[in-house]
Structure 1
Amino acid sequence: MSNLPARLSELIGKPVHDIDTPALVIDMDALKRNLVRMADFAKKHHVRWRPHAKLHKSTVLAKMQIKAGAAGVCVQKTAEAEVMVAGGIYNVYISNQVIAPAKLARVAALTQAVASHRGGQIAIAVDSPEGVSRLAKAMTEARTSARSSVATVIDVFVEIDVGQGRCGAQPGEAAVKLALEIRKHPALRFAGLQAYQGKAQHLRSAIERRMAAASATKAVELTCQLLKAHGIAPGLVTGAGTGSFALEAASGVYGELQAGSFMFMDVDYAQNERDPAQPQFEHALFVKTQVISTHASHAVCDAGHKSHAIDSGMPKVHAFEKKSGLDYFNGGDEHGILRPVDGSDRLPALGQLLWLIPGHCDPTVNLHDVMIGVSGGLRNGTVDRIIQVDARGAMT
Structure 2
Amino acid sequence: MAAVDTPALVLDLDAMERNLERMAAFARSAGVRLRPHAKMHKSAELARLQLAAGAVGVCVQKPSEAERLAEGGVDDLYLSNEVVSPEKLERVAALAGALAARGGRLALAVDSPLGVARLAAAVAARRAELDVLVEIDVGQGRCGVPVPEGDASAAIALARAVARSPGLRFAGLQAYHGNAQHVRSVEARRAAVAASAERARAARQALEQAGIPVPLVTGAGTGTFAYEAASGVYGELQPGSYLFMDRDYADNERDPAVPRFEHALFVKAEVMSVGPRYAVVDAGHKSHAVDSGAPRVHDPSGRFDLRFETAGDEHGLLWPVGGSPLPALGDAVWLVPGHCDPTVNLHDGYVAVRGGLVEGRVDRLIRVDARGAIT
Q: TM-score over 0.5 for the alignment?
A: yes
Match of 2:364 in 1: 385
Q: CA deviation at 1:321?
A: 5.2
Query: What residue identity is the alignment partner of 1:108?
Result: A
Match of 1:198 in 2: 178
Query: Could you tell me how far apart the structure 1 residues matched to 2:194 and 2:373 are?
Result: 34
Match of 1:336 in 2: 316
Q: CA deviation at 1:331?
A: 1.1
> Which residues in structure 2 correspond to 1:168-247 (within 5 Å)?
168-171=144-147, 172-247=152-227
Q: Please say if 1:66 is aligned against 2:45.
A: no
> Which residues in structure 2 correspond to 1:1-396 (within 5 Å)?
16-118=1-103, 120-143=104-127, 152-171=128-147, 172-320=152-300, 324-341=304-321, 343-396=322-375
Equivalent position SS for 2:48: helix
Q: CA deviation at 1:323?
A: 7.4
- Is contact 2:273–2:280 with CA below 8 Å preserved after alignment? yes
**Structure 2 gap segments, 5+ residues each:** none
Residue by residue over 1:99-122, the C-alpha shift from the partner in whole angstroms, topping out at 9 and shown as x without a partner, is 00000000000011011223x100
Equivalent position SS for 2:234: coil
- Is contact 2:19–2:262 with CA below 8 Å preserved after alignment? yes
- Is contact 2:304–2:326 with CA below 8 Å preserved after alignment? no
Q: CA deviation at 1:234?
A: 1.3
Equivalent position SS for 1:111: helix
Which 4+ stretches in 1 moved above 3 angstroms? 321-324
Equivalent position SS for 1:192: strand
Query: Could you tell me how far apart the structure 1 residues matched to 2:238 and 2:19 are?
Result: 15
Q: CA deviation at 1:165?
A: 0.6
Residue by residue over 1:261-304, the C-alpha shift from the partner in whole angstroms, topping out at 9 and shown as x without a partner, is 00000000000011222100000000001101011101001111
Change (3 A) 1:373 1:345: closer
Equivalent position SS for 2:59: strand
Query: Could you tell me how far apart the structure 2 residues matched to 1:165 and 1:234 are?
Result: 23
Residue by residue over 1:164-223, the C-alpha shift from the partner in whole angstroms, topping out at 9 and shown as x without a partner, is 110000121111111111111120000000000000000000111011101101111111
Query: What residue identity is the alignment partner of 1:140?
Result: A
Query: Could you tell me how far apart the structure 1 residues matched to 2:291 and 2:367 are?
Result: 23
TM-score norm. by structure 2 comes to 0.97
Change (3 A) 1:276 1:359: same
Equivalent position SS for 1:115: helix
Query: What residue identity is the alignment partner of 2:221?
Result: G
Equivalent position SS for 1:17: coil
Residue by residue over 1:331-364, the C-alpha shift from the partner in whole angstroms, topping out at 9 and shown as x without a partner, is 11101100101x2141111111110000000000
- Is contact 2:299–2:333 with CA below 8 Å preserved after alignment? no
Query: Could you tell me how far apart the structure 2 residues matched to 1:97 and 1:345 are?
Result: 49
Query: Could you tell me how far apart the structure 2 residues matched to 1:128 and 1:382 are?
Result: 50
Equivalent position SS for 1:92: strand
Query: What residue identity is the alignment partner of 1:163?
Result: G
Equivalent position SS for 1:137: helix
**Structure 1 gap segments, 5+ residues each:** 1-15, 144-151
Query: Could you tell me how far apart the structure 1 residues matched to 2:340 and 2:353 are?
Result: 17
Query: Could you tell me how far apart the structure 2 residues matched to 1:322 and 1:181 are?
Result: 59
